[in-house]
Structure 1
Amino acid sequence: MSRTIEYGNLMHRAMRGLIQEVLEDVAANGLPGAHHFFITFDTNHPEAALADWLKQRYPNEMTVVMQHWYDNLEVSDEGFGITLNFGDAPENLYVPYDAIQTFVDPSVEFGLRFETQPKSDEDEEDEEADLDEDTAPKGGGDIVSLDSFRKH
């Protein structure tokens, strides 16, 4: 069996490191200017933590928005914890980086999308990372296309 370079896994690690670095800066200094994030994550990830009623409402994936109100942002090497407001009900969430499907900052037309390819018997970790500025959040909210934010 020959050794190969796992570009997909390396790209995922680098992209998740970027998300961690951005969130660490926000935790220390707050969101600058018009920056805000749409973060879609897999609610079925074994390490994701969210209230039962949120899990029932979003059984597969959920998009959260970090913008005007958030609290208790704690960033670690594995993921981040945050308190967000859901209809005047603050809820704690924990999102592992491995659960993130999209990370979008529409204020600067930046987006990351993590795509998982069907796993083969040959390589159970065959994943492809995709940098995509046209990423739109999915699951229970308004769809925002970054095309609408582009300067023409």
Structure 2
Amino acid sequence: MSNTIHTIDYGNLMHKAMRGLILEVLTDVCAKGLPGNHHFFITFDTMHPDVEIADWLSDRYPGEMTVVIQHQYESLKVTDHGFSITLSFGDKPEPLYVPYDAIKTFVDPSVEFGLRFEAQDDEDGETPEAPMDVMAEPEKDAPKKDADIVSLDQFRK
């Protein structure tokens, strides 16, 4: 009998579910285009081994980069592992490939929705698990400002 304690890894399960949500949203946008005022700010780890961006972009954005998918994008392709897209940087089109597990934040400010992926445990368990956050609308009495990022713990009863 093994001495290993079996636990349910809710953090990684939530991240997998939220990456599935991003896949579904991008698949819909790929098929039908962006509806209404929807647009996305996607921040990703430029040092992730499977990210494919031009050398000048990785030099300019070491560590992380945020792209906006709104009016000017081309060649959006979505797979089970990531998405590719061509975006303009100073009127110069650049192809990008971003695997879902390189995404740090996914935000749709038109509806004040967002996901933030925190560092996950590796196989050795060296990195402590941090909760995944979602964005929620500010309270009605609060002054209007950018979307707040709040912990899922706030919604537990």
Whether TM exceeds 0.5 here: the answer is: yes
Kindly indicate whether residue 9 of structure 2 is the aligned counterpart of residue 6 of structure 1: yes
- Please, which of 72, 75, 78 is the counterpart of residue 75 of structure 1? 78
CA distance in 1 between partners of 2:60 and 2:50 (Å): 18
State, as a whole percentage, how many aligned pairs show the same letter. 65
Q: Comparing both chains, which one has the higher relative contact order based on Cα–Cα distances under 8 Å and sequence gaps of 6 or more?
A: 1
Classify 1:111/1:3 alpha carbon distance in 2 versus 1 (closer, same or farther; 3 Å): same
- Partner residue in 2 for 1:123: 125
Encode CA deviations 1:60-86: one digit per residue, 9 max, x unaligned: 100000001100000000000000010
In the TM superposition, 1:1-152 aligns within 5 A as: 1-116=4-119, 123-124=125-126, 127-133=129-135, 145-146=146-147
Report the Cα offset of residue 128 of structure 1.
3.5
Question: Is the 8 Å Cα contact of residues 75 and 85 (structure 2) preserved in structure 1?
Answer: yes
CA distance in 2 between partners of 1:34 and 1:60 (Å): 29
Task: Structure 2: give runs of 5+ residues left out of the alignment.
Answer: 137-144, 149-157
Question: Is the 8 Å Cα contact of residues 41 and 95 (structure 1) preserved in structure 2?
Answer: yes
- Partner residue in 1 for 2:151: none
Report the Cα offset of residue 126 of structure 1.
5.2
Q: Secondary structure at the match of 1:116?
A: coil
TM-score between the two structures when normalised by the length of structure 1: 0.83
Question: Is the 8 Å Cα contact of residues 46 and 62 (structure 2) preserved in structure 1?
Answer: yes
- Partner residue in 1 for 2:155: none
How many residues were matched structurally?
A: 137
Moved over 4 A (4+): 119-122
TM-score between the two structures when normalised by the length of structure 2: 0.81
